[in-house]
Chains A and B, each alone.
Chain A
């Protein structure tokens, strides 16, 4: 069934024909991150697709995947484009390498999952938290609940994890 929901004042919509996205976000709504695993070559893929990017097989099965990884790159947005994000600047958009399937099937590939830096309960992180995260930071997935059938996967700093001695951040004052 189609979804129309509101998140931070934005209208989020999934058409009833869009089975891949409906399935993806339904698992997120259950707080159980799943990705499609190809029935033929067994590789996981992100974001949802209709066929396997490596072997073109149309057959896949949703599989649970651990929501843990490290920041591969990021941007820190100071000038929001979407009006709904203006109250939250500066906010981080993180590109996170999942631990699962990292470096496969080729050394520079990974499941790189997008999300904002959020607090453990899923709210966009305050400026003091934004200033501490960079390339290499260990993060874990949490979910921002939106409506029945949809939650957004998000990232928060993995408490208790061994963090790198130094993460890479944009150099200079306030880097």
Chain B
């Protein structure tokens, strides 16, 4: 029997708005959770399922990512009495979030399961420290690692720094411009009761904090945090019956690479990052461009990572990232606020999940700030962005998440309000 010629079900366009994030859940962003990654993961997944208006038994797929520092999907599913039709626990850190959302779409589309919970659970401060100190700092240096760790070139900051330095060299990006990323994200965090660090910082605060490895000061780096985060992905059709306005997934790019990922610095310009390649998948898949986006979540493992990604995904011209992040555009009240929860630099480090969760809430027009709750249980947003105030972006319709693993690998996702 011939297939209908006008429907090519394999094209990304066909999947636009067909899947949604319907539930989000978190545990507190803290240092010293006092809980196992299993206990935290179970809590976050349960909250995400209930947030969606689902029961645990409605979830039949599960995905997680980790780096040997967490529990596995079968434990969480067991705790919640969920019988899974599909699960995978993958090795990975930053940029896994958007990639796994793409995989969730794929497995639902393939008929393997119907609703997928994705989680990341880590005691990134009190157990396996994300900054690389503690248990990660001194295992034997074996084989290929001899080309990096033997030189004291190991942590994320140390590994990425040559990219950051070269960007300053190539484009004249200044420390003051870069510091504005922390300033802006800290302003947003001051309006987020959940944020680990709610204090507003100045450019001077950033530049006078001690050096970790040039060009990174202490306040250019994200905060090691204990937390678990979870989201629930299902079809837009199912989403219609659920509790919240769905965040419809327009398009995803997953773990797109620069050449020579075994040592990406072999292939320049090294001041260009994976977003340069990912943007050509993201925007055509999503059917929108940077100008259509109302709010961004640009992975802020470091101040520089936000700047580099916004630039390489085309929110400004190449080389003008420093100007973009210091122009006020990314502030609440600006043209396109970024990292409105305070992100990794202030709210807490989650390997990308909290920036997706935040944008889901932005698209629901219901971020959990300090605005008063109305009789219908929803917050009445004031759009007064002063310290301790509102952080809802007015009329947010389209969001973009830009996920970072390293200069050579990135993922991205566009969502829109359903």
Alpha-carbon distance between A70 and B142 when the two chains are bound, in angstroms:
28
Alpha-carbon distance between A81 and B155 when the two chains are bound, in angstroms:
7
Alpha-carbon distance between A109 and B149 when the two chains are bound, in angstroms:
23
Alpha-carbon distance between A171 and B211 when the two chains are bound, in angstroms:
13
B214 — which chain A residues lie within 8 A by C-beta?
Answer: 75-76, 78, 170
Q: Is A91 an interface residue (CB 8 A)?
A: yes
- Check if A114 sits within 8 Å of B148, measured CB to CB: yes
Q: Is B202 an interface residue (CB 8 A)?
A: no
A72, A77, A83: the one within 8 Å of B158 (CB):
A77
Alpha-carbon distance between A90 and B214 when the two chains are bound, in angstroms:
10
- Check if B152 sits within 8 Å of A93, measured CB to CB: yes
> Contact mask A76-92 → B, CB, 8 Å, 1/0?
11111111110010110
> Contact mask B145-186 → A, CB, 8 Å, 1/0?
011111111110010011101101100001100000000000
Q: Is A168 an interface residue (CB 8 A)?
A: yes
- Check if A13 sits within 8 Å of B143, measured CB to CB: yes
A74 — which chain B residues lie within 8 A by C-beta?
Answer: 161-162, 165
- Check if A79 sits within 8 Å of B211, measured CB to CB: yes
Give the tally of cross-chain contacts (CB within 8 A). 146
A108 — which chain B residues lie within 8 A by C-beta?
Answer: 267-269
Alpha-carbon distance between A159 and B169 when the two chains are bound, in angstroms:
25
Q: Is B207 an interface residue (CB 8 A)?
A: yes
**B261 to chain A: closest residue by CB:** A53
Residues in A122-139 with C-beta less than 8 Å from chain B: 135
Q: A13-B142, A14-B146, A114-B148 are in contact. Are A73 and B165 (CB under 8 A)?
A: yes
Q: Is B141 an interface residue (CB 8 A)?
A: yes
Which A positions have Cβ atoms within 8 angstroms of B? 7, 10-15, 18, 21, 25, 45-47, 49, 53, 72-85, 88, 90-91, 93, 95, 106, 108-112, 114-116, 135, 152, 168, 170-172
Which B positions have Cβ atoms within 8 angstroms of A? 131-133, 137-138, 140-144, 146-155, 158, 161-163, 165-166, 168-169, 174-175, 207, 210-215, 259-260, 262-263, 265-270
* Selected A-B contacts with CB under 8 Å, 21 pairs: A12-B141, A12-B146, A14-B142, A14-B143, A25-B146, A47-B263, A72-B270, A75-B215, A79-B212, A81-B158, A88-B152, A93-B161, A106-B267, A108-B267, A108-B269, A109-B268, A111-B266, A135-B165, A135-B166, A152-B150, A168-B169
3 residue pairs, one from A and one from B, having the closest CB atoms: A108-B268, A75-B161, A73-B162
Known: A18-B143, A88-B152, A93-B162. 13 other contacts (CB 8 A): A7-B150, A13-B141, A47-B147, A72-B166, A78-B212, A81-B131, A81-B137, A91-B152, A93-B151, A95-B270, A116-B152, A135-B169, A170-B175
